[in-house]
Amino acid sequence: MNQPLSVSQSQNNVNQTIIASTLNSRARDANLTVVPKTTCPDCRLSDLCLARELDAAGLSDVGKFVRNSKRLRKGQHLFRQDDEFHSIYFIRSGFAKSYINNSGGDEVAVSFFFPGEMIGLDGLHDGRHTASIVALEDTHICELPYKALSKVMASSPGVRERFNALLSRQIVQEQAMTMLRGQKSASDQLKAFLLNLSERYARIRLSPISFRLPMTRKDIAGCLNLTIETVSRLFSQFQEQNLVEVSGREITLTDLQRFNS
Amino acid sequence: MNQPLSVSQSQNNVNQTIIASTLNSRARDANLTVVPKTTCPDCRLSDLCLARELDAAGLSDVGKFVRNSKRLRKGQHLFRQDDEFHSIYFIRSGFAKSYINNSGGDEVAVSFFFPGEMIGLDGLHDGRHTASIVALEDTHICELPYKALSKVMASSPGVRERFNALLSRQIVQEQAMTMLRGQKSASDQLKAFLLNLSERYARIRLSPISFRLPMTRKDIAGCLNLTIETVSRLFSQFQEQNLVEVSGREITLTDLQRFNS
DNA sequence: CGAAGTGTTGACTAAACTCAAGTACTGTGG
DNA sequence: CCACAGTACTTGAGTTTAGTCAACACTTCG
């Protein structure tokens, strides 16, 4: 289930198209012109991962190092809680969520991963992953075997610095989630949640105003420690207040000013 | 306010005593025999920080590298949100909390730091700290300037690996906090919170059953997104159910079995 | 087409919050 | 050492919020 995929350029010439079609159709704009080949140097998201630094480190072909194009169908797991750690991953296209089951078996914590975001560092600490990762839709993932990465870091300060910065970014992202969950009312929590999604869409140069929610109401509720009914009612309420327009998973933040305050 | 402290051994011969007296008096047991000198190689907590690896990396005197004995009085800040990042820190004795203010100025997220735990990595990402750190009581802190550390990591795989593991531990610790905040009832949240403290006391070889809460009810409430009244009522309720004995900040988990389930 | 999953809405209930009063610590100056 | 002030903590009564249970509509998919 984990065999390395060969990554000659010819095999990957559809990835960019996949990014464009997977994401919110409304936001398919000038920034998303389709580039036929997506080796690391070409990847639209390479400034978000380690590819540039690996390239600068003089790896003749980064493609030999990064196993890209691991593909997950909707609902498939990348790994599960307690699985052995051996790689870190970057989402190339699609979306994933993480979740943790407590001792009683309930899903108690959930967070989401966007294109360009890193997954798997929780396993570095003691060699086992503390959360499970599942694809919310068809998702392409790049895999960096940690042992090999570690070897490169020995000689490349650039890769090392970048890796540390990514680890720190992860900590900051976790803090941001903690912050939005810390809002006192469910309404403020959901607003903060939507603004967080908005920012992350902006980072991958998609519309921060009008986008598709990659997750179900249940996932949102799980993330914010609310019930699906409450989330649903809040969406309806925001719509009545002309703060947003919602239609299923499609959402438009019509009054970002008022939404933010 | 941030001048490096000189760290000759003679200046530090009281640290171990401070650890013993600062922590819960009931737990001052055989593991806490007082060692007069506490350079890094002697420090009871050195297996929790980077000292051993720095030592193994051949630094003739780790003391020249680690600026230990930075001292904070109760209520003093180590750094504040948006301050520039230049060092990472380890708590040698005492306790600290972090907090973040949202745009409205409310304290929305709080977490706590025990002896041996690392502080400050949130700043690595973009050079500024995202949270403020304040001492909950008189606290001793070791400081590792990041630039110097980075230089050592270039040549020492041991330090590098250890540093990455510590970063990962931080992520796992954040996940653990997220998990306990994700419990559905306030009661379960507080139980999980107390168990988390218990585990952390165990890690520094103090009693996981009977200990002193380093933080106020307000801090606990802030951490769990509850009100002080709710926290107070829950403590009373646990006591009625003979789950714990509470007297102010002193707490004993009388029935760990039943508490855990 | 039917089934399963996803989302909305309503009526009622339970949990936690707010406001308020009072008690118990903690630390400081006399 | 005590008195005092300020903070921390507890407890109660009433209110608000979000949860529960239930019915139903809409989608997706085999």
Tell me which CATH code domain A182-260 carries.
1.10.10.10
- For chain B, the helix, strand and coil percentages under 3-state DSSP, each to the nearest 5: 45, 20, 35
Q: Do A170 and B169 touch (CB under 8 A)?
A: no
Tokens representing B4 are 């490096």
DSSP category for residue B128: B
As a whole number of angstroms, the distance between CA A119 and CA A141 comes to: 10
CA B204 to chain centre: 10
Residues A51 and A64 sit within 8 Å (Cβ to Cβ)? no
**Among A39, A57, A72, which Cα is nearest to A149's?**
A57
Q: Are A183 and B102 within 8 A, CB to CB?
A: yes
pTM: 0.84
Q: What is the mean pLDDT of chain A?
A: 83
- Over residues A168-192, the pLDDT tens digits come to 888 889 999 999 999 999 999 999 9
Q: How confident is the model at residue B10 (pLDDT cuts 50, 70, 90)?
A: very low
pLDDT of A219 above 80: yes
Higher-confidence position of B233 and A66: B233
Query: Residue range B11-39: average pLDDT?
Result: 37
Q: pLDDT tier at A62 (50, 70, 90 boundaries)?
A: low
Confidence of residue B21 (pLDDT cuts 50, 70, 90): very low
Separation in Å, CA A229 to CA A143, A185, B154: 37, 15, 53
Question: C21 C1' – B193 CA distance, angstroms?
Answer: 30
Predicted confidence at residue A60, as pLDDT, reads 56
Probe site for chain A from B99, B108, B188 (most A CB atoms < 10 A): B108
Taking an 8 Å cut-off on Cβ atoms, the answer to whether B164 and A167 are in contact is yes
Predicted local confidence at residue B62, as pLDDT: 62
Point out the residue among B109, B163, B184 whose CB comes nearest to the CB of A178.
Answer: B109
CB of A185 within 7 Å of some strand C atom: no
Chain B: residue whose CA lies nearest to A222: B182
Q: What is the mean pLDDT of residues A125-145?
A: 93
Using a CB-CB cut-off of 8 Å, the residues of chain B touching A111 are 178
pLDDT-derived band at A68 (thresholds 50, 70, 90) equals low
pLDDT of residue A20: 35
For residue B177, list chain A residues with Cβ-Cβ distance below 8 A. Answer: 178
Q: Which residues of A touch B153 (CB under 8 A)?
A: 160
- What CA–CA distance (Å, rounded) separates B219 from A177? 19
Share of chain A above pLDDT 70, in %: 82
Sign of CA dihedral A34, A35, A39, A42: negative
Beta strands B139-145; A67-72: pairing state: unpaired
Q: How far apart are CA B132 and CA B134, in angstroms?
A: 7
Q: Measuring from the CA of residue B228 to each C1' atom, give the nucleotide at the shortest distance.
A: D9
Residue B31 predicted with pLDDT over 60: no
Å: A258 CA to D13 C1': 36
**What is the three-class DSSP state of B132?**
strand
* % of chain B residues with pLDDT over 90: 56
Q: Which residue in A124, A130, A153 is closest to B165 by CB distance?
A: A124
Query: What tokens were used for B257?
Result: 């079995």
Residue B143 pairs with which residues in a beta bridge?
B67, B89
The pLDDT score that the predictor gives to residue A106 is 82
Angle between helices B146-155 and A157-181 (to 10 degrees): 130
Taking CB atoms and an 8 Å limit, are A167 and B171 in contact across chains?
A: yes
Q: How many CB atoms lie within 10 A of CB B227?
A: 15
Distance A117 CA to D26 C1' (A): 33
Q: Is the pLDDT of residue B207 over 70?
A: yes
How far does the CA of A172 sit from the C1' of C19, in Å? 37
Topology adopted by domain B9-156? Jelly Rolls (2.60.120)
Confidence bin at A202 (pLDDT 50/70/90): very high
Angle formed at CA A232 by CA A226 and CA A238, multiple of 5 degrees: 105
Distance separating the N- and C-terminal Cα atoms of chain B: 47
pLDDT of residue B53: 87
Cβ contact B169–A125 (<8 Å):
yes
C1' (C30) to CA (B137) span, angstroms: 27
Residues at the strand D interface (Cβ < 7 Å)? A 185-187, 225-227, 229-230, 248; B 184, 216-218, 228-229, 231-233, 235-236, 246, 248-249
Name all contacts of B194-200 with Cβ < 8 Å and 24+ positions apart.
B194/B244, B194/B251, B194/B253, B194/B259, B195/B259, B195/B260, B197/B112, B198/B253, B198/B256, B200/B114, B200/B117
Chain A residue set in contact with B, beta carbons under 8 Å: 100, 102-103, 106, 108-109, 111, 121-126, 130-131, 150, 153-154, 157, 160-161, 163-165, 167-172, 174-175, 177-179, 181-184, 225, 260
B227 to chain A: closest CA residue: A184
pLDDT category of residue A237 using cuts at 50, 70 and 90: very high
By three-state DSSP, how is residue B130 classified?
coil
Q: In chain B, what are the domain boundaries?
A: 9-156, 182-260
Three-state secondary structure readout of chain A:
CCCCCCCCHHHHCCHHHHHHHHCCHHHCCHHHCCCCCCCHHHCCCHHHCCHHHHHHCCCCCHHHHCEEEEEECCCCEEECCCCECCEEEEEEECCEEEEEECCCCCEEEEEEECCCCEECHHHCCCCECCCEEEECCCEEEEEEEHHHHHHHHHHCHHHHHHHHHHHHHHHHHHHHHHHHHCCCCHHHHHHHHHHHHHHHHHHCCCCCCEEECCCCHHHHHHHHCCCHHHHHHHHHHHHHCCCEEEECCEEEECCHHHHHC
- Per-residue model confidence (pLDDT) at position B60: 56
Q: Answer yes or no: is pLDDT of B116 > 60.
A: yes
Q: What is the mean pLDDT of residues B151-173?
A: 89
Residue A131 has pLDDT above 70, yes or no: yes
Contact A160 B153 (CB under 8 A): yes
Distance CA(A62)–CA(A76), nearest Å, equals 27
Greatest mean pLDDT among A103-117, A227-241, B69-83, B137-151 lies in: A227-241
Alpha-carbon distance B240 to nearest alpha carbon in chain A (angstroms): 25
Confidence band (pLDDT; 50, 70, 90) for A66? Answer: confident
> With bands split at pLDDT 50, 70 and 90, how would you rate the model's confidence at B95?
very high
pLDDT of residue A38: 62
In this predicted structure, which of A213-222, B7-16, B91-100 has the lowest mean pLDDT?
B7-16
Q: At what angle do helices A157-181 and A146-155 cross, to 10 degrees?
A: 120
Are A92 and A141 within 8 A, CB to CB? yes
pLDDT bin (cut points 50, 70, 90) of residue B85 is very high
Of the candidates B11, B19, B9, the residue with the CA atom closest to the CA atom of residue B41: B9
The residue of A86, A110, A171 whose CB has the most chain B CBs within 10 angstroms, and thus the best one to mutate to test that interface, is A171
- Quick one: pLDDT at residue B191? 97
Note the pLDDT tens digit of each residue in A14-59: 333 333 333 333 333 333 333 334 677 778 888 888 888 888 887 6
pLDDT digits (tens, 9 = 90+) for B33-69: 333 346 777 788 888 888 888 888 876 556 667 776 7
CATH 2.60.120.10 assigned to A9-169: yes
Range from A5-19, A228-242, B209-223 carrying the lowest mean pLDDT: A5-19
- Over residues B126-147, the pLDDT tens digits come to 899 999 999 999 999 999 999 9
Higher pLDDT, B92 or B47: B92
